[in-house]
Chains A and B, each alone.
Chain A
Amino acid sequence: MTVTKTETLPVRSGDDVVRVRQRVRALAIEIGLGLVDQTKIVTAASELARNTLDYGGGGDVRIEIVQAGMRKGLRLTFEDHGPGIADIEQAMTDRFTTGRGMGLGLGGAKRLSNEFHIESTPGSGTRVTIARWK
């Protein structure tokens, strides 16, 4: 798998969340994702960006265009240095929320992506990676 394009955006305010959505949309169009897939990855990005902001105290997102063979995909890595998640399994459960929103953030983002990966260390931060393939 090769990375053909990388961009990093801050996730520190509500306006950043909107900017992340817009960039993800633009890059999803660039790699030729269909309308439904675009909407899914943008929505997943919005959920994760809000998580990063609300629970992680802000952070960054790395947006990459990746290629494996002839397939192109979009990979997003959200990273924060917040309190981390002690029980990832519990956090993945729907309706589990410690803040506003509907508690669908992580589980929802997973269902909207082809790949989902989360690492978190309590006390030092969380990193969530998702990918959607064409």
Chain B
Amino acid sequence: MKTDGAEVLTRTLTEDEAAILDAWNTSLREGSSLQSGRIREAELKTQAKAVFGQLQDALGAGGLDADGTGFVPLRESLADISRSRAIQGFTPTDTANFVFSLKEPIFEALKRASGTDATSLAAGIWAAGKVLDRLGLQTMEVFLASREEVIGRQGQEIAELSTPVVRLWDGILALPLIGTLDSARTGVVMENLLQAIVDEEAEIAIIDITGVPTVDTLVAQHLLKTVAAARLMGADCIVSGIRPQIAQTMVHLGVELNVVSKATLADAFAVALRRTGRKVVRQQASTEGRG
């Protein structure tokens, strides 16, 4: 007769619960996650106890299929745990070890329970290994996904920080763009600029691209869209700082930047002042000084 590993495992987990939990807690305590001070011992213990209970329930209900419905509550708790670990900055090893460090106590318990019955021991270990490996992998998947989310958010924040909209004069804004423009970043740029136009009631916005190394068709399209959107809101845009190489590339690409463009930010500012009915005049004294 074939020994049922799931049954051996479930029985051992129930009968030897206290000892396994104890050994697991010891191993967790010795692990580096506690040393790093990112989590308190009591919290770790509570998580271990909850997870252990759910593992018992899951094995009782769903057998060994860690992807099955019986494991849903356990998977969710583990997902929550690894998500918070990812955000708190735990290492992948620490996170994976939360599950993997349960192996040894369980194997020890199985050894104790099986005595000399090698078949039952092997079946139990195989079952425990199968379930815990799968759970460990799932933990890592969630961990990585959460890290990616954190990275994505940081990328978004960097994009927002790197596109300051500055007020040059009453009703005149400037957006000095620096670095490569991809569509995600241009989206943020566009929103920031348009919102600033509303907030500052700006009639004219100068988009300065002196610091943009390349302008391809896509970037040009984004610029044009920004200009068009601003126009719909009742503001005009001037593009300044198109470098000679960029101008050439654009012509070769057949990109038509059908907007008012000026060589430098200063030229654009002069146009903006003129359009808003202002004029920069040199004070008499300094003119005389030169003459």
A and B touch in the complex (CB under 8 A): yes
A residues whose Cβ falls under 8 Å from a Cβ of B: 36, 69-70
Shortest C-beta distance, B46 to chain A (Å), equals: 25
The answer on a CB contact under 8 Å between B149 and A36 is no
> Which of B146, B187, B191 is the one whose CB lies under 8 Å from A70?
B146
Q: Mark each residue of chain B from 130 to 150: 1 if its CB lies under 8 Å from any CB of chain A, else 0.
A: 000000000000000110110
- B 184-217 contacts with A by CB, 8 A: 187, 191
The answer on a CB contact under 8 Å between B145 and A69 is yes
What residue in chain B is nearest A36 (Cβ atoms)? B191
* Bound CA–CA A70/B146 (angstroms): 8
* Bound CA–CA A11/B20 (angstroms): 60
* Bound CA–CA A69/B141 (angstroms): 10
Chain B residues bordering chain A, tally (CB within 8 A): 6
* Bound CA–CA A36/B146 (angstroms): 25
B residues whose Cβ falls under 8 Å from a Cβ of A: 145-146, 148-149, 187, 191
Chain B positions within 8 Å of A36 at CB level: 187, 191
Shortest C-beta distance, A35 to chain B (Å), equals: 8
Shortest C-beta distance, B78 to chain A (Å), equals: 15
* Bound CA–CA A69/B146 (angstroms): 10
* Bound CA–CA A63/B54 (angstroms): 34
Shortest C-beta distance, A36 to chain B (Å), equals: 6
What residue in chain A is nearest B194 (Cβ atoms)? A36
**B-side interface mostly:** helix
Can you offer 6 A-B residue contacts whose CB atoms are under 8 A? A36-B187, A36-B191, A69-B145, A70-B145, A70-B146, A70-B148
Chain B positions within 8 Å of A70 at CB level: 145-146, 148-149
* Bound CA–CA A89/B149 (angstroms): 37
Shortest C-beta distance, B224 to chain A (Å), equals: 14
* Bound CA–CA A69/B145 (angstroms): 8
Shortest C-beta distance, B22 to chain A (Å), equals: 35
* Bound CA–CA A36/B188 (angstroms): 10
* Bound CA–CA A36/B186 (angstroms): 13
Shortest C-beta distance, A63 to chain B (Å), equals: 24
Chain B positions within 8 Å of A69 at CB level: 145
* Bound CA–CA A104/B146 (angstroms): 39
* Bound CA–CA A69/B152 (angstroms): 14
What residue in chain A is nearest B142 (Cβ atoms)? A70
Chain A positions within 8 Å of B148 at CB level: 70
Shortest C-beta distance, B282 to chain A (Å), equals: 44
* Nearest 7 CB-CB pairings of A with B: A70-B145, A70-B149, A36-B191, A69-B145, A70-B146, A70-B148, A36-B187
Chain A positions within 8 Å of B146 at CB level: 70
Chain A positions within 8 Å of B187 at CB level: 36
* Bound CA–CA A69/B83 (angstroms): 13
* Bound CA–CA A70/B148 (angstroms): 10
Shortest C-beta distance, A4 to chain B (Å), equals: 14
What residue in chain A is nearest B190 (Cβ atoms)? A36
What residue in chain A is nearest B83 (Cβ atoms)? A70
* Bound CA–CA A70/B86 (angstroms): 14
Shortest C-beta distance, B145 to chain A (Å), equals: 5
* Bound CA–CA A70/B144 (angstroms): 11
Shortest C-beta distance, A67 to chain B (Å), equals: 12
Shortest C-beta distance, B87 to chain A (Å), equals: 13
Chain A positions within 8 Å of B145 at CB level: 69-70
Shortest C-beta distance, A26 to chain B (Å), equals: 22
What residue in chain A is nearest B191 (Cβ atoms)? A36
* Bound CA–CA A134/B114 (angstroms): 52
Shortest C-beta distance, B163 to chain A (Å), equals: 15
What residue in chain A is nearest B146 (Cβ atoms)? A70
* Bound CA–CA A120/B148 (angstroms): 39
* Bound CA–CA A104/B148 (angstroms): 37
* Bound CA–CA A36/B192 (angstroms): 11
Chain A positions within 8 Å of B191 at CB level: 36
What residue in chain B is nearest A70 (Cβ atoms)? B145
* Bound CA–CA A130/B149 (angstroms): 24
Shortest C-beta distance, B186 to chain A (Å), equals: 12
* Bound CA–CA A111/B145 (angstroms): 28
